[in-house]
């Protein structure tokens, strides 16, 4: 190899690694937003959501109220939700899907006997 081939190879490697680093940095900046809406007809005594290996807990969510939070989308994940109502009913569900590289906005509605999800927005 002559010295120009070596320089060209080093330059190509540098360009590749720079592009890869920028791509990974963008992916790790992904953010999710979740609204939890109480449409159950009674107070939610306890709500726990797990997404992207992080737990988010809330207590005493009144009928018609909404709680919201943002979370880093670090990898592929779904929402795991556990609810206990004022009457003692337990609702649990696995819902939705998020993955890094995109920003998500979702709504989970807690109904009398189940949870539903609605995708509001996704952007890259």
Residue ranges of the domains in the chain? 30-123
pLDDT higher than 90, residue 4:
no
In tens, the pLDDT along 93-115 reads 999 999 999 999 999 999 999 99
Q: Average pLDDT of 22-38?
A: 77
Per-residue confidence (pLDDT) for residue 95, from 0 to 100: 96
Query: 50 and 32 in contact (C-beta within 8 Å)?
Result: no
Per-residue confidence (pLDDT) for residue 6, from 0 to 100: 63
Q: In the CATH hierarchy, which fold is given to the domain comprising 30-123? A: Immunoglobulin-like (2.60.40)
Per-residue confidence (pLDDT) for residue 24, from 0 to 100: 46
Q: How far apart are CA 65 and CA 81, in angstroms?
A: 17
* Global pTM value: 0.76
Nearest to 42 by CA among 81, 80, 91, 79: 91
Residues 6 or more apart in contact with residue 58 via CB below 8 angstroms: 36, 44, 46, 47, 48, 67
């Amino acid at each position: 190899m002559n010295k120009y081939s070596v320089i060209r190879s080093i330059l190509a490697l540098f360009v590749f690694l720079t592009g890869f680093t920028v791509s990974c940095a963008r992916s790790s900046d992904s953010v999710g937003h979740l609204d939890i809406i109480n449409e159950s007809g009674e107070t939610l005594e306890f709500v726990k959501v797990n997404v992207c290996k992080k737990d988010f807990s809330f207590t005493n969510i009144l009928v018609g109220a909404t709680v919201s939070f943002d979370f880093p989308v670090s990898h592929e994940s779904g929402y795991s939700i556990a609810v206990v109502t004022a009457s003692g009913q337990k609702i649990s569900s696995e819902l939705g899907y998020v993955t890094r590289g995109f920003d998500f906005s979702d709504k989970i509605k807690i109904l009398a006997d189940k949870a539903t999800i609605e995708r509001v927005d996704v952007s890259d």
